[in-house]
């Protein structure tokens, strides 16, 4: 195991994240006990993250983001530019990237992964220049991200998501879109178009059963059923990534997609609204180096959906 003694860590800390405040003490304690020198830089809104990394990366040997999936994705462009490895302390609601990478949801254990020093290169997805690790979506998920009050999200976690989702489903309508893949366009009527870079999203759904965050491709699905009640019987398929077997779900795999809609529609990336259609999606293969458990260590951490 390579020694981390003397290495400098820039720790970006979101105290407003659902678990952020309680994470700081155990994380700093474990990192410092492992021989790392830690500089804590707090942030209150997502645009601050990239500017903080750009401003301070020359004083660090690694960047650690303590926050949710949206915070980590916001850091991605500056991480790529800096060339520094990324450590993840999952302090959000769903923490899908951490679970995709088998990073434990226990704060101290996640810090131990960084101390151990094992690294892995992963892909980054982009839409109109905005980075995402898990999934970008148009339709139902974007409406959920817009309507979910941050206070409710922090206080009630997945219950807050569930209540907001039920309200959205009750009034959902299909929209018309054009999906362009390899120069060929297809017109669809859909409730949602999702494009995944990683494997997990939405608190444990699987983008596609063979998807991986280092496979150099993006996976698309489009929900084209006439009635949303069908989703109730498709829940298990989304949990296992086999939803593409249903005739109502269009799927595709490519390195680039374009999505066009009659009017601009908001796009949700890893829980945050960042841009709108028309949208160009592409994958950046092996763009970020991340601290992850080794295969042997990953087996010790069974995947859990949320912090207890």
The token pair at 266 is 């908001």
What is the predicted pLDDT for the residue at 306?
A: 43
Q: For residue range 73-102, list pLDDT tens digits in order.
A: 999 999 999 999 999 999 988 899 999 999
DSSP structural state of residue 159: H
Handedness of CA 287, 72, 207, 193 (dihedral sign): negative
3-state class (DSSP) for residue 192: strand
Percentage of the chain beyond pLDDT 70 is 84
Regarding beta strands 119-127 and 130-132, do their DSSP bridges make them parallel or antiparallel, or are they unpaired?
A: antiparallel
pLDDT (tens digit, 0 to 9) for every residue of the chain, 308 residues total? Answer: 455 667 999 999 987 766 667 889 999 999 999 999 999 999 988 889 999 999 999 999 999 999 999 999 999 999 999 999 999 999 988 899 999 999 999 999 999 999 999 999 999 999 999 999 999 999 986 666 555 555 545 554 555 455 555 565 556 789 999 999 998 999 999 999 999 999 999 888 899 999 999 999 999 999 998 887 787 788 889 889 999 999 999 999 999 999 999 999 999 999 889 999 999 999 999 999 999 999 877 776 655 544 43
| Cα(52)–Cα(74) distance, integer angstroms | 11
| Cα(23)–Cα(88) distance, integer angstroms | 12
Regarding beta strands 218-223 and 192-196, do their DSSP bridges make them parallel or antiparallel, or are they unpaired?
A: antiparallel
Strand runs labelled E in the chain? 8-13, 37-42, 62-67, 86-90, 119-127, 130-132, 135-139, 175-181, 184-190, 192-196, 200-201, 205-206, 218-223, 249-254, 256-261, 266-269, 272-276, 279-291
Backbone angle region of 301, left / alpha / beta, with phi > 0 → left and psi within -120 to 50 → alpha: beta
How many CB atoms are closer than 10 A to CB 305?
14
With tokens 């302090």, the residue in question is: 91
How many CB atoms are closer than 10 A to CB 25?
11
Query: Which of 200, 65, 80 is closest to 130 using CA atoms?
Result: 80
Backbone angle region of 92, left / alpha / beta, with phi > 0 → left and psi within -120 to 50 → alpha: beta
What is the pTM (predicted TM-score) of this model? 0.88
Answer yes or no: are the C-beta atoms of 259 and 193 closer than 8 Å. yes
What is the predicted pLDDT for the residue at 140?
A: 84
Beta bridge partners of 254: 218
**What does residue 180 show for φ and ψ, rounded to 5 degrees?**
-110, 125
Q: For residue range 19-75, list pLDDT tens digits in order.
A: 667 889 999 999 999 999 999 999 988 889 999 999 999 999 999 999 999 999 999
């Amino acid at each position: 195991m390579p020694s981390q003694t003397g290495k400098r860590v820039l720790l970006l800390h979101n105290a407003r994240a659902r678990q952020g405040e309680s994470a700081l003490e155990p994380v700093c304690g474990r990192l410092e006990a492992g021989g790392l020198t830690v500089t804590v830089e707090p942030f209150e809104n997502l645009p601050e993250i990239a500017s903080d990394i750009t401003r301070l990366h020359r004083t660090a040997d690694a960047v650690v983001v303590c926050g949710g999936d949206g915070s980590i994705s916001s850091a991605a462009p500056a991480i790529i530019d800096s060339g520094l490895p990324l450590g993840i302390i999952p302090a959000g609601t769903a923490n899908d990237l951490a679970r995709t990478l088998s990073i434990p949801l226990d704060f101290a254990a996640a810090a131990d992964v960084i101390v151990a020093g094992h690294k892995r290169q992963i892909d980054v997805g982009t839409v109109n220049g905005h980075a995402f690790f898990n999934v970008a979506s148009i339709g139902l998920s974007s409406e959920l991200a817009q309507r979910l009050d941050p206070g409710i999200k922090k206080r009630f976690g997945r219950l807050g998501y569930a209540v907001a989702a039920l309200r959205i489903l009750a009034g959902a309508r299909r929209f018309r879109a054009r999906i362009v893949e390899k120069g060929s366009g297809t017109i669809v009527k859909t409730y949602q178009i999702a494009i995944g870079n990683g494997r997990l999203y939405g608190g444990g759904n699987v983008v596609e059963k063979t998807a991986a965050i280092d496979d150099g491709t993006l996976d698309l699905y489009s929900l084209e059923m006439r009635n949303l009640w069908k989703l109730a019987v498709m829940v298990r398929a989304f949990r296992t990534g086999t939803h593409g077997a249903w005739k109502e779900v269009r799927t595709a795999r490519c390195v680039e997609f374009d999505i066009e809609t009659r009017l601009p529609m908001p796009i949700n990336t890893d829980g945050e609204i960042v841009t709108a259609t028309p949208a160009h999606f592409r994958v950046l293969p092996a763009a970020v180096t991340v601290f992850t458990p080794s295969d042997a260590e990953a087996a010790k951490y069974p995947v859990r959906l949320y912090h207890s």
